[in-house]
Amino acid sequence: MKKKFAVIVLLLTCHLAMAQGFELRLLNHWDNPDGTVERGYAGRSIWKWEEIPTNKSPMPAQLKARYEEYGRINQTYGINGTVLNNVNAKPLALSTDMLKKTAKIADVLRPYGIKVYLSVNFASPKALGDLDTADPLDKKVQQWWEKKVKEIYRYIPDFGGFLVKANSEGEPGPMDYGRTHVDGANMLAAALQPHGGIVMWRAFVYSAKGGDRANQAYEEFMPFDGQFADNVIIQIKNGPIDFQPREAVSPLFFGLKKTKMMVEFQITQEYTGESIHTCFLAPMWHEFFQQIQTPGEVCNLVGIAGVANIGDSPNWTANDLAMANWYAFGRLANDPWVSSRTIAEDFLRTYYTDDPRFVRPITQLLLKSREAIVDYMMPLGLHHIFAGGHHYGPEPWCAPAGWREDWLPRFYHRADSIGIGFNRSDHNEPCLAGEQGSNNVSQYPEPLHILYNNVNTCPENLLLWFHHVSWDYTMNNGLSLWDNLCYTYDRGVHQAEEFVETWKSVKPYVEHEQYERQLQRFQRQAKDAQWWRDACLLYFQQFSHRPLPPDSPAPHYTLKELMDYRLNMDNYTAADPARLP
């Protein structure tokens, strides 16, 4: 990729009434102290903690240059903050030595208008050996945090604040002591308030108690609306499940009226093909902004966070075209209504060439890429049917012994002899399968509640998100649900194959190594699309008991081959031709 980092003039006019762009425009790095990156697909962490001195010695020149480049890029994109470490935070992040190292990073990024933030482990007072409790209402715990915050600001006078994942997926939090999210967030907020710091308290929570995971964040946070301190912001994923290729918007964005919020997007492609598949995410994020505007403006949305797709790969993101998502995040953070086409064209002209013979076809490719991924992975509202652990390939049958039910794909697709899909209708809406709905639709305001609740008015791209639908249900195009599902998977495969040919057509306009690197990825993507299509249709066919449509291509693989296959991510590369049977 050409290292062309000239400042791009960004249009900062925001058409949301809530702000002229977002006040907080942050990257969230899920980077660990040992250099690994959770859900990272571009190498190891850029934060080389072992190389950063704790004394007055300067940062190594090569490392400083890399961080300066990082700062310039973010400044160009309009990003004004970065959370350096994983939300599954290690207490080590608050040790004095680590704070001294963090201060050196902050010194490098400060000239570029980038504030530094830290994810914190809620149990740090106990985990660092100072106290025997982390109870937020304990005076000694409150004093510990006040002292620690003063230490942070002594090293980093413009420190931004804390990001907190609490009582979620095993992380410690105030509920460990019978307290609430308000108790925990406001305790930290009180320590930060004198210094101007903020608390970003994540709403990604779900328990092992069962029920619909899509309901739980709303149920857990709505009782506390208006009780959070003024410097607390609830950070909410764009959808209520977990960064799926398509989700309904989280109902919390509509529900919280008296609480500051920020949206969390995932720039790193955990569920959209990692660093292999090209998936331009600007259309997905536009979809979010359009949805939250449907029933009225969400005026207390003050910030935007993006889980970074950055690593120590020479081109930052491993997949050259994945850089477009970092770029798009920054553009939309400053103007949520700038078009996806404009973002794609500006990116390609800046990082490749302004030759229209390249820009036009690759712009079209980028604009089609997200919908193609939805088509060949999980169309019509299907979700969370990925392989366990790495989330790369399809495993709608995945059911390891000992796993919680809401970790399993069958919990979400619910395929049976009657139909497929998760019934989230209210209890008054008849369900085709006879199963009572989870009532998730009632968390949405009108007119969304009525729209989503009726199987005949629900948008078809969310149909199986909100309803368990008969295999013979007639879609808007006159096809049965089963036939329509087959044709949609076919369309996704065809689109992925077309991407290969489109990329080949622009070979004269791309540097040789860059061209070959990206070609391998497109070829891998096309093969993976076929993998997804065959795995899902052959598996669901066991329940539908219906043949593929006559003009639908025969599968490349058998279901047994696919169910027996085990992807080894340790040896996985885009160029591996033998990865699939």
Q: What tokens does 557 get?
A: 């693989």
pLDDT at 569: 67
Give dist(CA 485, CA 480) in Å, integer. Answer: 8
- Please, which contacts does 249-253 make with residues 24 or more away whose CB atoms are closer than 8 Å? 249/288, 249/291, 249/292, 250/203, 250/217, 250/218, 251/218, 251/440, 251/443, 251/444, 252/203, 252/217, 252/218, 252/221, 252/222, 253/292, 253/298, 253/301
Among candidate residues 270, 320, 371, 528, the one labeled active-site is 270
Match domain 24-350 to its CATH number in 3.30.450.20, 2.40.50.140, 3.90.850.10, 3.20.20.80.
Answer: 3.20.20.80
pLDDT of residue 7: 27
Q: Which amino acid is at 57?
A: S
- Determine the pLDDT at residue 309: 98
Per DSSP, helices labelled H in 78-138 are 96-109, 124-127
CA angle 336, 337, 339 (to 5 degrees): 120
Per-10-residue mean pLDDT of the chain, 581 residues long, equals 31 34 96 98 97 96 98 98 98 98 98 98 95 98 98 98 96 98 98 98 87 96 98 98 98 97 98 97 96 69 97 97 98 96 98 98 98 98 95 96 92 97 83 76 96 96 97 98 98 98 98 97 97 98 98 96 84 51 50
* pLDDT at residue 177 in the model: 98
User: Choosing from 135, 220, 242, 335, which is the catalytic residue?
Assistant: 242
Architecture, CATH, for domain 352-422+468-581: Alpha-Beta Complex (3.90)
**From 151, 169, 354, 576, the catalytic residue:** 169
**Gap between the Cα atoms of 560 and 535, Å rounded:** 9
pLDDT at position 571, please?
Answer: 57
Question: What three-state secondary structure class fits 371?
Answer: helix
- Residue 3: predicted pLDDT: 35
- How far, CA to CA in Å, does 466 sit from each of 492, 532, 541, 575? 22, 22, 21, 38
- Nearest Cα residue to 80 out of 5, 2, 150, 158: 158
Q: Where are the domains of the chain?
A: 24-350, 352-422+468-581
Residue 210: per-residue pLDDT: 78
pLDDT at 578 (0 to 100): 44
What is the residue whose two structure tokens read 């696919």?
Answer: 562
Q: Which residues contact 84 (CB under 8 A, 6 or more apart)?
A: 29, 31, 47, 102, 105, 116, 117, 118, 119
E-assigned strands of 2-90?
A: 24-28, 81-83
d(CA 250, CA 443): 9
Element (H, E) at 234: strand 232-237
Is the N-terminal amide bond of 447 cis, ω within 30° of 0? yes
Please report the pLDDT score of residue 383 as a whole number.
98
Q: Which residues pair with 262 in a beta bridge?
A: 235, 303
Let me know if 350 is exposed, middle or buried by CB neighbors in 10 A (0-12, 13-18, 19+): middle
Active site residue 242: yes
